[in-house]
């Protein structure tokens, strides 16, 4: 009988965790866009300019194939990108190579951008997302949605088990 009590405590603890409200402040990764038309971008490092082709883009960064040898992680640069909404100028930091599974692609993140450029970038990304260039498949659930859905299903099964056991227990008590 003691073993059943331990199992009941375990399932009760799992049920409490499943019923706990999810943390609404968790950051979600911004939508990543596959940039069409081999869009070119101009980089500037210490008055030296070179060109790259943007592969992916989000509000926090992206990946690019550029004409230089791979740059060391942490290299700072200026970025000039033309969009249909106007020129976007930003300060970036180059990150790792091999981004998006492409050996020649190098990731970067935005460090600074003025408000006008931020609005232009958001508008351009939204337009590309609406045109179907987002990495996320239509109707694809994010990890948080999948976990929440799984926990909801688990919670329903536990509740059914608990109510079935409660009914069985009442039936035995009457005998």
Query: Domain residue spans in the chain?
Result: 2-27+141-170, 33-130
Residue 141 — φ and ψ, nearest 5°?
-85, 140
pLDDT grade for 133, boundaries at 50, 70 and 90: confident
- Whether the full predicted model's pTM is greater than 0.85, yes or no, is no
Question: Of the spans 28-32, 53-57, 149-153, 168-172, which averages the highest pLDDT?
Answer: 53-57
What is the structure's pLDDT at 137? 54
Q: Domain 33-130 sits in which CATH superfamily?
A: predicted glycosyltransferase like domains (2.40.10.220)
**What does pLDDT average to over the chain?**
78
Question: Do the beta carbons of residue 108 and residue 73 sit within 8 Å?
Answer: no
Residue 165 has pLDDT above 60, yes or no: yes
Instruction: Please give the Cα distance from 47 to 149 (Å, whole number).
Output: 52
Instruction: Please give the Cα distance from 136 to 145 (Å, whole number).
Output: 13
Contacts (Cβ under 8 Å, ≥6 apart) of 86: 116, 120
Residue 156 has pLDDT above 60, yes or no: yes
Residue 35 has pLDDT above 70, yes or no: yes
Contacts (Cβ under 8 Å, ≥6 apart) of 129: 31, 33
> What torsion do the CA atoms of 156, 161, 165, 166 make, to the nearest 10 degrees?
0
């Amino acid at each position: 009988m003691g073993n059943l009590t331990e199992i009941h405590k375990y399932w009760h603890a799992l049920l409490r965790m499943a019923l706990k409200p999810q943390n609404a402040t968790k950051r979600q990764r911004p939508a990543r866009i596959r940039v069409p038309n081999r869009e070119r971008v101009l980089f500037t490092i210490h008055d030296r300019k070179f060109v790259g082709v943007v592969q992916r883009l989000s509000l926090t960064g992206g990946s690019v194939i550029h004409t230089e040898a791979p740059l060391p992680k942490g290299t700072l640069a200026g970025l000039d990108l033309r969009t249909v909404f106007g020129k976007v100028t930003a300060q970036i930091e180059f990150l790792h190579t091999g981004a998006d599974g492409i050996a020649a692609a190098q990731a970067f993140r935005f460090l600074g951008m003025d408000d006008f450029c931020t609005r232009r970038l958001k508008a351009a990304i939204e337009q590309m997302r609406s045109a179907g260039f987002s990495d996320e498949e239509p109707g694809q659930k994010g990890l948080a949605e999948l976990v929440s859905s799984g926990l909801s299903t688990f919670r329903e099964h536990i509740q059914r088990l608990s109510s079935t056991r409660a009914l069985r227990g009442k039936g035995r008590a009457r005998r």
